[in-house]
Amino acid sequence: MGSLTVRNVGNDVKQRLRMRAARHGRSMEEEIRHILADADAGQTPATGPAVAGSIQTRSTRDPPGVADEHRAILSMRILLVIGGGIAAYKSLELIRRLRERGAAIRVVMTKAAQAFVTPLSVGTVAGGRAFTELFDTASEFDVGHIRLARDCDLIIVAPATADLMAKMAHGLADDLASAVLLATDKPVFIAPAMNPHMWAHPATMRNFARLLGDGVVKIGPNLGEMAEAGESGLGRMAEPLEIVDAVERLLSHSGKDRPLAGRRIIVTSGPTREPIDPVRYIANRSSGKQGHAIARAAVEAGAHVTLVSGPVALPDPAGVTIIKVETARDMLSAVEQALPADVAVFAAAVADWRVAEVGAQKIKKGGSGTPQLALVENPDILATVAHARARRPKLVIGFAAETEKVVEHAKLKLARKGCDWILANDVSAGSGVMGGDNNRIHLVTEDGVETWPSQSKGEVARTLVARIAAALVQRT
């Protein structure tokens, strides 16, 4: 087949086509071939009906959407920190895309980055010299690492290598890139890029969780082929257009301090109590500390939070709308009334069963032998919301409290309940999680399993909220 030329396509269509192509790691021409092949086979393209539909239905006189979509990045001063990985070659494209949108770019390169792309080519594309040395008299006099860190509106680290992430997480400052990252008070976005084994290594996961807890926003990494022959997995750097898009969307949701501004979040917390008679009940052990911490962290991130809580001995977190319930059925109906929401996090320890016939009076001893309680299963609140056709939140997150085979059971739960993420934790007697202040989470998603270090429940909550903010940006 010869080459393709498509003319008279509006800017908005072009932009969406670029995004779709970037997501698939294809050129725009290859992407159009795929769209045409899908159309020929009578299929709706799997991930791009908007692009295909736009090509067919929109005219070139439609108002171009680009100016609006990119308003957030226009006139921004962006500092790009390039780490030393093979993905550094994509940084040139990233600089071009950012400049296209009117951003002023300064670039800092690590020593390792210079092995992949030269400061000369980076400087040429960026329209100014690339900064490389911490103790370079000329540039320290001229600009200096403190001014580089402060005279910008945001910082993007791309590629963020395992080494650079480790330095950031530990506050090292032995070169220009790490010193700038330590000295800055601006929002920092990282686009991790590394071999999947390096990404999955507990050390990287620890550093990553710490960075998220510090408010760093991550973009990617994506699943895909690695530069090393035959290697593939999670670790590919997000495509330059994805990075630009994510930064823009996050900025339009008002930036680093309130990344969940304008979002509605429902959180369930605590146990439920299922009455046996007026004085007795069935319940799970749950302090509500984790669920309440998530509600608090989401409010701090700017979300409108509805906390549906069973009975707990905790103060109500400030700024949340709290609905107090006793039973699983009450909890379900409170959650349904709180919908719609962007995100629902189910941290409650819901009693799986209730008593079929609740005694109207206190059941007395010494009657006709030991009472036999007939149980019926309670509704599964998480599964009900996750499987709902209407008003399903964009992100439905459950917990899995397990005492053995934690990840294995959590994977089954993810599939069975139809949610997007499961935060699995070991609640066996020796773990100290139940009622304690720390938690160790395995985040199970369809992309795989990420193990977070043992953290306080507040840190787990902040890490989760940062992940939610980034995921919403990617899903919007």
208 vs 399 by CB, closer to ligand CTP: 399
**Rounded alpha-carbon distances, angstroms, from residue 238 to 170, 303, 445, 472:** 24, 27, 18, 16
Judged by the rule CB under 6 A, the positions of this chain that interact with ligand CTP are 268, 328, 346, 348, 350, 352, 378, 380-382, 398-401, 413
Q: Is 284 a catalytic residue?
A: yes
End-to-end CA distance of the chain: give it in Å, rounded: 35
Q: Are 395 and 475 in contact (CB under 8 A)?
A: yes
- Could you say which of 284, 378, 425, 439 is catalytic? 284
Quick one: DSSP state of residue 45?
P
Smallest distance from the beta carbon of 450 to ligand CTP, in angstroms?
A: 18
Smallest distance from the beta carbon of 280 to ligand CTP, in angstroms?
A: 20
Enumerate residues 6+ apart whose C-beta is below 8 A from 395: 342, 343, 344, 420, 421, 468, 471, 472, 475
Q: Within 13 A of 99's CA, how many CA atoms are on the CB side?
A: 17
Quick one: DSSP state of residue 316?
P
Residue 343: strand, helix, or coil: strand
Smallest distance from the beta carbon of 235 to ligand CTP, in angstroms?
A: 29
CA–CA dist 267, 338 (Å, integer) = 10
189 vs 399 by CB, closer to ligand CTP: 399
CA–CA dist 299, 354 (Å, integer) = 33
CA–CA dist 221, 380 (Å, integer) = 33
Dihedral sign, Cα of residue 120, residue 126, residue 129, residue 132? negative
155 vs 386 by CB, closer to ligand CTP: 386
Smallest distance from the beta carbon of 186 to ligand CTP, in angstroms?
A: 36
Smallest distance from the beta carbon of 62 to ligand CTP, in angstroms?
A: 44
201 vs 329 by CB, closer to ligand CTP: 329
58 vs 285 by CB, closer to ligand CTP: 285
Active site residues: 284
